[in-house]
Amino acid sequence: MTPTIDDELWAAIGDPTRRRLLDLLLADGSGTATSLSGHLPVTRQAVAKHLGVLERAELVVPRKDGREVRYVVNEAQFSRAVEQLASVGAAWDARLRRIKTIAESIQALRSKIE
């Protein structure tokens, strides 16, 4: 059975800068566009745009903190992404096992013919 994949979710995670933002948020618990930009080779404006993509994919949640907006990882959506990744990995493992079986069968037939 092919797992159901959320393309918007994986498009958001597919960008290296957004993955790094998620890493930083998971490590620190929260962050603002300004604080996060200090850890990346991109501008605060670029970080804000990336956070917007992560927010639309529901991977982060903005929280007002005075005049700042702090972002935290949406644990439920992040868990969903991890589950999808595990499911995709299991499906590919099954495909690779089938390919190996087919290749071994072909090799066995060649050995009998020769």
Per-residue pLDDT tens digits for 73-94: 999 998 888 788 787 777 787 7
Query: What rounded mean pLDDT belongs to the chain?
Result: 89
What pLDDT is stored for residue 104 in this prediction?
A: 80
How confident is the model over 24-43, as a mean pLDDT? 96
Residue 39 is encoded by which pair of tokens? 């850890």
Residues β-bridged to residue 64: 69
pLDDT at residue 64 tops 60: yes
What pLDDT is stored for residue 4 in this prediction?
A: 63
Grade residue 20 by pLDDT with cuts at 50, 70 and 90.
very high
Amino acid at 80: R
What pLDDT is stored for residue 92 in this prediction?
A: 80
